[in-house]
Amino acid sequence: MLFRSLSRKTLSIAEAGAVGCVAHIDGEHLHVASTGDCQAVLGVRGQGETTWVGMPLSEPHNSENLSEVNRLMSEHPPEERDTIIQNDRLLGQLMPFRAFGDVR
């Protein structure tokens, strides 16, 4: 019972937080910052073209991003390799691998 209670408390801390993405235009410069599983996309249209194409400006921090998976695996001991990512989710719960905010 004590172990189950501690596990719930640990997961509640890990589940708290937020993801976000922001873009700032300063003259001819575009600055993008993001964390989590959100992504900045710029609509571009080539010279003489009539259709817009989405150009990603950031990479989401989730299981589809191989560099994020490798980062997580490198930051945890080998014995946690089977538990850190389960069903493409962090700790089997969270879709984003990075977040900010309500960390106690």
Amino acid at 17: G
Mean pLDDT highest for which of 3-12, 21-30, 41-50, 89-98? 21-30
pLDDT at site 51? 92
Instruction: Please state the pTM of the whole predicted model.
Output: 0.64
Backbone angles phi, psi at 68, to 5 degrees: -70, -40
- CA atoms of 18 and 101, how far apart (whole Å): 6
- CA atoms of 62 and 94, how far apart (whole Å): 9
C-alpha to C-alpha distances, 98 to 9, 41, 55, nearest whole angstrom: 19, 19, 22
Mean pLDDT over each residue of the chain, to the nearest integer: 84
pLDDT at site 58? 92
Residue-wise pLDDT tens digits, 8-38: 666 666 666 788 999 999 999 999 999 888 8
